[in-house]
Chains A and B, each alone.
Chain A
Amino acid sequence: MISILAGLLALSIGAGLVGALSGLGGGVFIVPGLVILAHIPMHIAIGASLISVVATSAGASVAFVRDGWTNLRVAIILECATVTGAVSGAYMAGLISPPVLEMLFALMMLQSAWFALKSQGEVFLPQSDELCTRLRLGGEMPGDDGAMRPYGVINLPGGACLMVVAGLMSGLLGIGAGAVKVTAMDYLMKLPLKVSSATSNFMIGVTAGAGALVFLSRGDVAASVAAPVALGVTAGALVGGRVLPRVNTDALRKLFVVILVLIAVEMGWRAWSRI
């Protein structure tokens, strides 16, 4: 038993660490890790991953909420969209065969790699549009001098549509889909990048939680796998979060993107040979 536990813990700590350092999240690495290395069926791997995403989101978002980076009102409104997508995605996952899910996962990994390499520009809107003003979605974030700096928010319908897609990906494939969430807020709704990241991190917990509840009640979460994986990924993500300010993230991200593409090819090939 010790060797199985040690293997699962090593795998999940590694996935949490790499996920935090690359900014892609542990889910993208733990699912292929469990499927390819531990020979765990795809549905069980997704269930375990969703649980670990809930844990890492709860751990990572605490500091962002406390320090005022998370826009709680934007998160509450957009969670309606992500949860709708997540519950639908998790339900659909039960109807899709493992090789097809693996192929979809491989495609998602390639999309994540592309997102990771894309440069992100900082935007700062002084005012919100009419709908966002009515919903009081604009906020304040800590500036360089410590004073709070106000920012505006626009295009809620566009952001919400992309959030349904993010939720669908999360529930279907067991990931946080943070890259899509950040894109929706940063690119479409023009929230400042750090606010988008912090708000995405906060929302990931509810999104993954919605999917995890479907998997748990369907019997697709095996406690013997999910419990050590959740503990390991959380530990790895916590260590990664502490190491992050001291490493060259650009070089690391490029390295992890190469690894991600290799895993995606392996996973895609495995799936293709069984479809």
Chain B
Amino acid sequence: METAIAPGEEDRILRTWTPLILRSVLIVSSIVMVGGIARALAFAPGFYVRRFHAIQHGQLHVRESLLQLADEMRHGDPHGIMTIGLYLLTLVPLVRVAFTFVLFLRERDLVYVIATAYVLVALILGVMLGRVG
């Protein structure tokens, strides 16, 4: 079978790019989370404490859409910034699997295309299940 990438080349590409992807998303999400915490410390320490106590008493259960969170982040709300940072962090594996999917698609390696597509679909299904659960 003719492949778009030389045999064995995909391993080299994965070993070069995967660490880069993992590290980049990890650093970006950490910066966003540190930013959110720093903003809470500087501008809304009382709000953070009230939120923490509400969590301890099981009184805080907020299900927000990404649009709401983006809006909160735009207004500099520490909670919105921290939550976006957490979402970014969970993107680490998603981005890595998506990259592998594209690589095997270019290579036309059907078994691995199906395997990575299955993982991607399961991750997206997880978000949908959480919404209804």
Contact = CB atoms under 8 A, between A and B. Distances in A.
* Binding between chains A and B: yes
Contacts of A1: 40-41, 45-46, 48-49
A2 B52 CA distance: 12
A213 B133 CA distance: 12
A218 B19 contact: no
Given A65-B18, A219-B63, A206 B119 contact: yes
A219 B63 CA distance: 4
A157 to B, nearest CB: 15
Contacts of A65: 14-15, 18-19, 22
Contact of B26 (A41, A58, A225): A58
Interface in B47-67: 48-49, 51-52, 55-56, 58, 60-64
Contacts of B46: 1
Interface residues of B, number: 61
Chain A, interface size: which category? 35 or more
A169 interface: no
Interface string A214-233: 11111111111111101100
A83 interface: yes
Interface in B24-46: 25-26, 29-30, 33-34, 36-37, 40-41, 45-46
Contacts of B37: 5, 227-228, 231
A83 B92 contact: no
Contacts of B19: 62-63, 65-66
A263 interface: no
Closest 5 CB pairs of A and B: A217-B130, A219-B63, A209-B93, A223-B82, A1-B45
